[in-house]
Amino acid sequence: MGAVMDGVDEGRDVTLVQILRGGDSEADATHPWLHRIDELATRWGDRMNPILVKETRQALKSRQFVTTFSVLLVASLAWTIIGSLQGMPAIYHTPSAPRMLIGYYLLLAVPMLLIVPLAAYRSLESEVDEGTLDLLSVTSLSPRQIITGKLASASLQMMLYLVVLFPSVAYAYTLRGIDLPTLGLLMGMLIATGLALTMVALFFAPVSAGRTGQIASLLVVTAILIWAEFLVGPVAFQLIRGGNPLALSDTLVLVVCVLGFGISFCVLLLIATAARLTPESENRSTGIRIAILAHLLIVIAVCGFAVRWFARQGLSEELSAIPLGLSVYLVAFWTIVGSMVCAESAVMTPRIRRELPGTFLGRLFLTWLTPGPATGLVFATVTLAITLAASHWLLAQVIRTTGWLAIDLERHRELALLVVSYLAIGFLGVRLIIAFLRTRNPVTVRVGMAALAVTLLMMTVVPYAIGSYLNDYRPFDYSAWQASNWAWTLRRAYDQSLNESVLYLIVGIATVAFLVHLLLLGQRVLPQRLATPERVEQEYRRLAGLESVAAEVSDPLGLGGDAVGT
C-alpha cells in the first residue's frame, strides 16, 4: 500500500475546498477565525461516524427533509398566528399554553414519530436494495457502525425538527398553563419514542431482500409507527392538559423504568440488526446472547425496583401487575427469541473457534454464549427458567409485602413450570426440524419461529385428534394422554383443575429430554479453540498501532495554528 501517491502539495497548508477548487479562499486570508472554525469542524468531523457525515449531507439536500422542514416551519408559524388569534382576548388573562402546545405536539409528532423512522428504514433498505451495502461491507466500517450511523443521523434530523419548533414552544410556555418539567418530560418522551421507533424501523429494514418481503416489512413498520402515534398521543395530551399527575419521585421511578427497558431493548435490536449484516463466518450470536442477558437483567431489576417503590408508596394494585406482566413478557420474549437461537447454524468456522473460551472456567460458564443451536437450546431453556423463577420470586415478595391474596402463587408456579417445560420441548423440536431442513437447503434463524409454531401445533393437534377419534368424535374429558396438548393443559392449570401427576409427568419428560440433550452434545459444546496465526495477529497489531497513531495526531490536516492565514 501507499505506492500510488503523487501530486500532493507537501508542506503547504490548504483546506479541502481549496484543494478541490484549486485556489486560495480570500475569506481564509481575511478572516482567520473562519479558517480556524473550519479547521476545528474538519477535525471534529474526522472523528465522527462516516455514515453520520454522509447521511447528514444527504438529508440536508434531500427533497424529503427540505419539504418536511419547510412545512413544519410554515405550519408552526401558521398555528402560532391562528391559535393566538382564536384565543383572543382570553389569551391575555387565561392560561393558554395547553391549547397551543397540543397543536405544536401534533405538528412535531408526525416528523418525529413517523417521517424520521420511515426515512431511516428507507435509507437502510435502499442500501440493501441498490447494492451499496456491499460497498460498505468491504470498507473498514463494522455493521454496528453502519446501524449506529443511521441512528445518529436520524437523531440529528429530530434535533433539527425540534429546533424549528423551539421558538413556538417557548412562546407557548409564556402563555402560562404548563410548567418546565412537564414540558421537558413531553419533549424527552417524544425524542425517546422517536429514537426507539427509528431503531425498530432499522431492525425491520434488512429483513427481506425480495420485493414481497420488503412490502410486508414496510407495512409492519408503518403499522407499528401509527400504533405508537396513537399510544403516545393520549399520554402527551394528558401531560399537556392535566400536567404530570405523578409526584417528582414517582416520575423519576417511571422514567428510570421506561428508559431502562427501552435502552436495553434498543441495544438488543441494534446488535441483532448488525448481526444480520454480518457474514455467517463471524460470531453473530455471542453479542446477541449477552444483550439478551443484559436486557432481561435490566427488566427484572427495573421490575424489582418498581415493586419496592410501589410497596413503599402503599400502591398494592399496581404491584400485582408488575410480576404478572413480567411473566407474560418473558414467555412472549422467549417464544420468539428461543426459537431463533435454537435455529442457528451449527457450523463453527475457524474464525469463530479462535474466539472460543480457552480456560476451564471460561468453558464452564461461557460455552452457552458461543454460537450454535445446541448451546442455544441450553441457553434459552436455562435463561427462561431462571428469569421466570425471578418473576415468581418477585410475585412472592409482592404477596409477602402486601398480603394481597388475589394472586395465587401456587397457580403461578404451576403455569411457569408448564410453560418452561413446553417451550423446552418446543425448542428441541425446532432443533430437530432445522437440522433436517439444513441437510437440504440453507435456513435462516427466522425459520426457527415457524418450526416452533409447527412443533407446538403438532403437540396440540395430534393428541386431540387421537382422543377425538378414540371417542368417536364426541366431546371427551382431559386425561394424562393429553399431556402434550399444551393449550388444554395450561387452561386446566389456570383453572386449578390439573392433576399434579400430569404436571410432574410433563416437567419430568422435559427435564429428561433436556438432560439427554445436554449429555449428547458434550463434544459439540466444547469445540477446540484454534490458535490465531502469528501473521494475522501481527497484522492486527500493526493496524491497531496505525489507528492509535491516527488518533493521536492532534493536527490531522497539518493546519497548525501558526500557519493560519499564511
Partner 1 sequence: MTTTATTTTAAFPIPAVHSDDSVCIELRRLHRFFGKTKAVSDISFSVRRGQVFGYIGPNGAGKTTSMRILATLDLPSYGEAFVDGFSVINDPELVRHRLGYMPDAFGTYRDVNCWEYLDFFARSYGLVGRDRIRRLRWVLDFTGTRGMAEKPIRGLSKGMKQRLCLGRALIHDPAVLILDEPAAGLDPRARIELRRMIGELGARGKTVLVSSHILTELAEMCDSVGIIEQGRLLATGSVEEIQRERKQHRELVVRVLERTPELARHLAARDDCENLVVDGQLVRLEFSGNPQAQATLVRELILAGFPIVEVTARSKSLEDVFLQVTEGWVQ
Can you give the binding site for partner 1, defined by CB under 8 A?
1-8, 14, 16, 19-20, 42-43, 46, 50-51, 53-54, 57-58, 61-62, 130-132, 134-141, 279-282, 349-351, 354, 441-442, 530-536, 539-540, 543, 547, 550, 553, 555-558
Residues contacting residue 440 through CB under 8 Å, at least 6 positions apart: none
Q: Which is nearer to partner 1, 4 or 406 (CB)?
A: 4
Neighbours of 80 (CB within 10 A): 17
Give the shortest CB-448-to-partner 1 separation in angstroms: 20
Q: Which is nearer to partner 1, 80 or 349 (CB)?
A: 349
DSSP string of 142-192?
Answer: -HHHHHHHHHHHHHHHHHHHHHHHHHHHHHHHHTSS--HHHHHHHHHHHHH
Q: Which is nearer to partner 1, 504 or 540 (CB)?
A: 540
Q: Which is nearer to partner 1, 192 or 530 (CB)?
A: 530
Give the shortest CB-109-to-partner 1 separation in angstroms: 26
Give the shortest CB-527-to-partner 1 separation in angstroms: 11
DSSP structural state of residue 474: S
Coil, strand or helix at 431: helix
What is the rounded radius of gyration, in angstroms, for the C-alpha atoms of the chain? Answer: 29
Give the shortest CB-548-to-partner 1 separation in angstroms: 12
Q: Which is nearer to partner 1, 516 or 543 (CB)?
A: 543
Nine cell digits for residue 168:
413556538
Q: Which is nearer to partner 1, 57 or 400 (CB)?
A: 57
In angstroms, how far apart are the furthest CA atoms of the chain? 99
Neighbours of 266 (CB within 10 A): 21
* 197 close to 225: Cβ distance less than 8 angstroms: yes
Q: Which is nearer to partner 1, 85 or 138 (CB)?
A: 138
d(CA 381, CA 376): 8
Give the shortest CB-441-to-partner 1 separation in angstroms: 6
Give the shortest CB-45-to-partner 1 separation in angstroms: 8
Give the shortest CB-431-to-partner 1 separation in angstroms: 22
At CA 16, angle to CA 13 and CA 19, rounded to 5?
Answer: 75
Q: Which is nearer to partner 1, 5 or 405 (CB)?
A: 5
* 500 close to 527: Cβ distance less than 8 angstroms: no
Tell the residue number behind the cell numbers 507537501, with chain if given.
10
What's the residue count for the chain? Answer: 566
Tell the residue number behind the cell numbers 501507499, with chain if given.
2
Give the shortest CB-563-to-partner 1 separation in angstroms: 13
Q: Which is nearer to partner 1, 479 or 532 (CB)?
A: 532
Helices (H) then strands (E): counts for the chain: 23, 0
Give the shortest CB-512-to-partner 1 separation in angstroms: 35
Helix (H) or strand (E) holding 350: helix 350-354
Q: Distance between terminal CA atoms of the chain?
A: 33
